[in-house]
Every structure is written in C-alpha cells, then in structure tokens.
C-alpha cells in the first residue's frame, strides 16, 4: 500500500516545531508556514496531519501539558513510596519545584505555556486544556499538602484549601516573573522562596 509514516510521531515532531517557533517569535509567529519551515516540512504536509490551524495549536497544547503532567506524576509516585519525614519533605519540595522554571529549558517551556494560556482567554478552543492544567495543579498541590498534614509534617491549624490556593498562586507568580525577568528571579532565588514558604507551612519558626 502507501508510504507508511508513524502519524503520531509526526504530529509530535510538528508540535516540537510549534514550541520552538512560539519560544522564538511568540504565538502569533506560529503560522503554518513558519511551523512547517521549522519542522522541515511543506505546508501541505503539515496540513495532512492537522486539519486545522486550531487543531495544530490544540494538539501542541495538549502535548505540552501531557509531558508536563507525566513529570509531575512521576514525582507523585515517588512521594507516595517515600518514608521518613525529612525524605518526604525533600521529595515534596522537588515535586513542587517541578512547577518552577529552574533552568533555561523549563523557562522556555513556561513561556510557551504562558503564551497558550494568554491566548486562551480570547480563543475558546484553547480554554479547556488551559483550565484542566490549572485544575490539575490545584489537585496535586492540595493532595500534597493534605497528605503532609495527615503525616504530621504540616501545621494542624492550616486550612489546606486556602493554602493550596496560596501555594499555587505563588508558584505561578514565580514562574510568570521568572519568565519575564530571569535576572530578577534566578533559579536559586526561586528555590529559596519555595523552601522558605514551605518552612512556614511546616510549623518551623
């Protein structure tokens, strides 16, 4: 029959091209032509795998969130199989640190994601994924804080719901500003702020 290509992998490769282009020229630079060029394909080829420009962006968003959530999930399983208060604290910190752009790669990733989320406000097709990720983040953070409190690593008088919101906002805010002005928020400052915040939650003076 025909030339056979792994369509799923192709789509992923094109998504990578989307990430590169958005990273370099923003979402408005992610035209079919630019993306095709970046992927080393012709526009017609890209359109063979994506019916629409919208579908391309939606898939790219979904792909990025999928990879990210996989990373977080691995931290979650590691956390649930960890014993001992100090160890659990360290793993939890690493898990939450996954939400921060602690190196150039993740900073670009965060920038691309911000572009998606910002665009989603006026592009209904992009809203579902943006919202899912935000809700997923809330869930994970709430779960981590909840289990920490049950394990005695967290002050008893804390309202886990409120603290989850606060921590999520802190992580997102740190990310936002680190993307905007990396020199004002270098990786070590990010981790300092996170660690210090967690210390206030665990009852240490």
124: DSSP letter: G
> Is residue 174 part of the contact set for a copy of itself (CB under 8 A)?
yes
User: Which of the residues 92 through 111 are near a copy of itself (CB under 8 A)?
Assistant: 111
59: nearest Cα among 33, 35, 25: 35
Q: Looking at the chain, how many residues does it have?
A: 205
> Is residue 18 part of the contact set for a copy of itself (CB under 8 A)?
no
Out of 16, 55, 125, 172, the residue judged to bind a copy of itself by CB under 8 A:
172
Token output for 22? 């958005």
- In the complex with DNA, the residue whose CB is nearer, 37 or 98, is 37
- Rounded-to-integer distance, Cα 73 and Cα 176, Å: 22
> Is residue 124 part of the contact set for DNA (CB under 7 A)?
no
- Rounded-to-integer distance, Cα 164 and Cα 167, Å: 5
> Is residue 54 part of the contact set for DNA (CB under 7 A)?
yes
Out of 78, 134, 186, 199, the residue judged to bind a copy of itself by CB under 8 A:
134
Q: Which residue is associated with the tokens 């992923």?
A: 12
In angstroms, what is the minimal distance from the CB of 83 to a copy of itself? 30
- Rounded-to-integer distance, Cα 124 and Cα 122, Å: 6
- In the complex with a copy of itself, the residue whose CB is nearer, 50 or 164, is 164
- Rounded-to-integer distance, Cα 123 and Cα 169, Å: 23
Binding positions for DNA, rule: CB under 7 A? 1-5, 7, 10, 29-34, 41-45, 47-49, 52-54
């Amino acid at each position: 029959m025909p030339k056979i290509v792994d369509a799923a992998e192709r789509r992923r490769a094109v998504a990578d091209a989307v990430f590169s282009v958005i990273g370099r020229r923003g979402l408005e630079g992610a035209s079919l032509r630019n993306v095709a060029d970046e992927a080393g394909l012709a526009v017609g080829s890209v359109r063979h795998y994506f019916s629409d420009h919208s579908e391309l962006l939606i898939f790219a968003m979904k792909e990025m969130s999928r990879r990210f959530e996989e990373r977080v999930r691995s931290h979650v399983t590691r956390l649930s199989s960890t014993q001992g208060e100090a160890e659990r604290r360290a793993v939890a910190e690493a898990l939450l640190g996954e939400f921060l752009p602690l190196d150039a790669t993740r900073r670009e990733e965060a920038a691309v994601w911000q572009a998606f989320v910002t665009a989603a406000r006026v592009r209904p097709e992009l809203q579902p994924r943006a919202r899912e990720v935000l809700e997923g983040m809330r869930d994970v953070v709430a779960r981590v804080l909840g289990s920490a409190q049950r394990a005695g690593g967290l002050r008893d008088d804390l309202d886990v719901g409120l603290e989850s919101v606060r921590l999520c906002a802190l992580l997102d805010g740190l990310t936002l500003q680190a993307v905007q002005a990396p020199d004002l928020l270098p990786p070590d400052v990010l981790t300092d702020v996170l660690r210090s915040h967690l210390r206030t939650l665990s009852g240490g003076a």
